[in-house]
């Protein structure tokens, strides 16, 4: 599944091609995604100008004159910028054609993504309204984590993957951040000190920022807007390295299932 760095990479790649451009037409070939594509999208978006592309958690928000296109890539969705008239391939479900003859094309083999047309403020939309802070914002820090962790006995890995605590910390990046901060993924959230939460918040910011810089992590389906894959997997310290030596030289990476997700950590340096 594309995670926050992959979605941010997509946003940065898409925006220069659509900023200030008018929509010529919208073609919905397959409306049945995880939720149905909003049935008014194809009628209301043409003729409007795209003013920018923002990201909230793993949702992309295309700002138009009277609303926003809210898009989630789901498990295997991807966006490409292609020239008008480019032949279709399997699973090309939605086209947003612009008057500059570029097309924003949505492809999704598993159809777990979603595309909504919002005329309400995005922050009030049901899927966005209860989300926690952005991890790279000033609203997210160790103090926030410590406050949210009060009386929570859940494993800290599950805690930081809760989108109401902080958005965008998927399985790969949770494993990497906990390893960087030296915190065992099973440790109860309420038992972590403020000082360790300060380190964890900084580790989350560092891991995500590094992943964005190299275009994200490609493990299965993710491909960027330009057709390239991300390279963060080349520098993973814990995730997917079961049986390999810890980069710190203090033990061997172990794999356990926590919250139904494969979790990789070093028992030697993560406490």
Q: Is 110 annotated as a binding residue?
A: yes
- What span, in angstroms and rounded, lies between the C-alpha atoms of 250 and 252? 7
User: The tokens of 191 are what?
Assistant: 């038992």
- What span, in angstroms and rounded, lies between the C-alpha atoms of 253 and 121? 45
Q: Is 91 annotated as a binding residue?
A: yes
- What span, in angstroms and rounded, lies between the C-alpha atoms of 93 and 86? 14
Q: Which one of the listed residues 3, 6, 8, 97 is annotated catalytic?
A: 3
Q: Which one of the listed residues 55, 58, 78, 241 is annotated catalytic?
A: 58
User: The tokens of 232 are what?
Assistant: 């963060």
Residue 261 annotated to the active site: yes
Q: Which one of the listed residues 186, 187, 254, 261 is annotated catalytic?
A: 261
Q: Is 11 annotated as a binding residue?
A: no
Q: Look at residue 56 and give its three-state secondary structure.
A: strand
Residue 103 and residue 86 in contact, taking contact as beta carbons nearer than 8 Å: yes
Strand positions, DSSP E, 84-220 = 92-98, 102-107, 114-118
- What span, in angstroms and rounded, lies between the C-alpha atoms of 267 and 258? 15
Residues 6+ apart with CB under 8 A from 183: 156, 192, 196, 199, 200, 270, 271
Residue 2 annotated to the active site: yes
Q: How far apart are the first and last CA of the chain?
A: 29
Q: Which one of the listed residues 2, 5, 122, 185 is annotated catalytic?
A: 2
Residue 254 annotated to the active site: no
Residue 205 annotated to the active site: no
Residue 265, strand partner residues: 254
Active site residues: 2-3, 58, 261
- Binding residue numbers for DNA: 91, 110, 152
């Amino acid at each position: 599944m594309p995670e926050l760095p992959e979605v941010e990479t997509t946003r940065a790649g898409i925006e220069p091609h659509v900023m200030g451009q008018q929509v010529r037409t919208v073609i919905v070939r397959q409306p049945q995604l995880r939720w149905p594509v909003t049935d008014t999208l194809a009628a209301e978006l043409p003729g409007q100008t795209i003013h920018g592309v923002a990201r909230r958690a793993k949702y992309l928000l295309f700002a138009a004159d009277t609303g926003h296109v809210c898009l989630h890539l789901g498990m295997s969705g991807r966006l490409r910028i292609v020239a008008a008239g480019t032949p279709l391939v399997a699973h090309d479900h939605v086209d947003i054609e612009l008057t500059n003859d570029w097309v924003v094309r949505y492809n999704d083999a598993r159809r777990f993504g979603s595309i909504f047309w919002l005329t309400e403020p995005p922050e009030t939309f049901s899927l966005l309204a209860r989300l926690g802070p952005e991890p790279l914002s000033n609203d997210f820090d160790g103090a926030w984590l410590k406050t949210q962790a009060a009386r929570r006995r859940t494993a800290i890995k599950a805690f930081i993957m809760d989108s109401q605590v902080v958005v965008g910390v998927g399985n790969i990046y949770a494993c990497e951040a906990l390893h960087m901060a030296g915190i065992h993924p099973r440790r109860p959230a309420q038992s972590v000190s403020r000082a360790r939460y300060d380190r964890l918040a900084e580790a989350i910011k560092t891991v995500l920022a590094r992943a964005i810089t190299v275009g994200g992590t490609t493990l299965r389906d993710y491909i960027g807007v330009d057709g390239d894959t991300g390279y963060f997997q080349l520098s993973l310290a814990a995730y997917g390295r079961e049986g390999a030596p810890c980069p710190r030289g203090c033990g061997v990476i172990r794999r356990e299932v926590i919250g139904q997700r494969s979790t990789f950590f070093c028992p030697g340096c993560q406490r």
